[in-house]
């Protein structure tokens, strides 16, 4: 059995020719696994047949370490005004088109109340840009021209609503390249349904994984379903637990089935339930609850008519 000292010594030697890293000889690690090092491209190519199996195994392990790490929060992050986590339900947040900033409805409602009571002109709660269709439209076009990923993704959503899947794919692809997590999820749906592109399971999973790593709970849940359908039940359970702990309630039903089938322990199931509730509770505030109460009263009055 090799010791840590021996492994460190091996990392100072070229895995192919055995030359040591001294003076002007610099070794570079295998980019995929970082298990071995080489003095040059020739040695790396010569050693690849021997190294391939171990390289693929370690690369998969490293990928899983990233993939199954519990994100600190959902992809929405915190409201930049109240600094409380944004709800998973996008219906409970509002995006300011002028600055592409997502604000919770509580802060947005509080700002609108202040403006009404003070007879003030309407402005964005975050960047203070005037709120009117003309100026907001102009500001949004500037955000698109500046390659703002959120503005690109929202424009892609509008293209989807219009049935323009080709344009939507272009906007989503550009937003995803710029790091927008929701755009990756939207692309996964397009590859799954074959809307604007040919159905491609490999690309669908690729975008699902990027979205899941970024904290998108629905993408994480869909990954769990993919693993379940492929018979990789233990991996599916991991995805369901991570998704639940982000505050998403959909995987709870799947975890109930897993618990009955003995695929998840009582402790892990209970931890997932507590984590889901804790994530939901973390998004609550008096301002947000006031908005929800107002909506419920409005809905009740509408039904009464």
What distance in Å separates the CA atoms of residue 142 and residue 129, rounded to the nearest whole number?
A: 13
pLDDT, tens only, 37-79: 999 999 999 999 999 999 999 999 999 999 999 999 999 999 9
Residue 287 near residue 113 (C-beta atoms within 8 A): no
Strand partners, 96: 101
Record the pTM: 0.86
Residue 74 near residue 246 (C-beta atoms within 8 A): yes
What distance in Å separates the CA atoms of residue 254 and residue 243, rounded to the nearest whole number?
A: 11
pLDDT at 1: 46
Residues of the chain with pLDDT under 70: 1-10, 133-136, 304-305
Cβ contacts of residue 157 below 8 Å, gap of 6+?
168, 186
What distance in Å separates the CA atoms of residue 254 and residue 246, rounded to the nearest whole number?
A: 15
């Amino acid at each position: 059995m090799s010791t840590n000292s021996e492994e460190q010594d091996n990392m100072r030697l070229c895995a192919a020719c055995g030359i040591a890293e001294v003076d002007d000889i610099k070794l570079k690690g295998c980019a995929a696994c970082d298990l071995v090092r080489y003095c040059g491209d020739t040695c790396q190519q010569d050693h690849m047949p021997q190294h391939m199996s171990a390289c693929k195994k370690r690369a998969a392990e490293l990928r899983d370490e990233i993939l199954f790490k519990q994100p600190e929060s959902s992809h929405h992050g915190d409201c930049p005004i109240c600094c409380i986590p944004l709800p998973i339900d996008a219906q409970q947040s509002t995006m300011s088109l002028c600055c592409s900033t997502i604000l919770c409805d509580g802060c947005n409602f509080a700002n609108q109340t202040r403006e009404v009571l003070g007879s003030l002109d309407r402005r964005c709660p975050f960047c203070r840009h005037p709120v009117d269709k003309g100026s907001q439209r102009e500001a949004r076009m500037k955000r698109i021209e500046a390659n703002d990923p959120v503005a690109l993704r929202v424009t892609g959503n509008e293209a989807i609503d219009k049935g323009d899947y080709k344009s939507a794919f272009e906007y989503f692809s550009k937003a995803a390249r710029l790091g927008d997590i929701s755009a990756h999820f939207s692309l996964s749906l397009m590859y799954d349904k074959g809307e604007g592109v040919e159905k491609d399971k490999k690309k669908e999973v690729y975008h699902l994984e990027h979205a899941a790593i970024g904290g998108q709970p629905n993408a994480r849940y869909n990954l769990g379903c993919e693993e379940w359908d492929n018979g990789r039940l233990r991996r599916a359970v991991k995805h369901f637990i991570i998704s639940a702990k982000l505050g998403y309630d959909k995987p709870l039903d799947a975890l109930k089935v897993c618990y009955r089938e003995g695929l998840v322990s009582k402790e892990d199931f209970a931890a997932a339930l507590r984590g889901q509730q804790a994530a939901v509770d973390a998004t609550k505030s008096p301002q947000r609850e006031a908005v929800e109460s107002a909506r419920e009263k409005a809905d009740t009055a509408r039904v009464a008519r």
